[in-house]
Amino acid sequence: QVQLVESGGGLVQAGGSLRLSCAASGRTFSSYAMGWFRQAPGKEREFVAAIRWNSGSTYYADSVKGRFTISRDNAKNTVYLQMNSLKPEDTAVYYCAAGAGVAGPYDYWGQGTQVTVSS
């Protein structure tokens, strides 16, 4: 079992930055691939970024590539999402998730954190 708690969301102006954190409980955190997803109002949840268990490979949606960076610290049981050059279309609830592989399925989900980017 893995429990996930996101933090770091908030209101930021376009062009600004935020760093989201996802703290995990459970002794097997380091064995899971971790992903970030987001859901904007009226839209389906979409993939944002993912990282393998050993931080060896990272994956990004085209819409965030070059602006967002996913990383993890297995010693701290935490995964991060550094978001730079934010745009209003990045506004969404952001969720972290844990799964057996970066392609899923993702078995464990956090409660989400709101990111709002004003123009």
Name residue, tokens 């893995």. 2
The pLDDT of residue 72 is: 94
C-alpha–C-alpha distance, residues 49 and 62, integer Å? 10
- Is residue 78 within a helix (H) or strand (E), and if so which, with residue range? strand 78-83
Walk along the chain (119 residues) and give the pLDDT tens digit of each residue. Answer: 889 999 999 999 999 999 999 999 986 888 899 999 999 999 999 999 999 988 779 999 999 999 999 999 999 999 999 999 999 999 999 999 999 999 989 999 999 999 999 99
The pLDDT of residue 91 is: 98
Residues 24, 106: contact at Cβ < 8 Å? no
The pLDDT of residue 55 is: 76
Tokens linked to 47: 């993939």
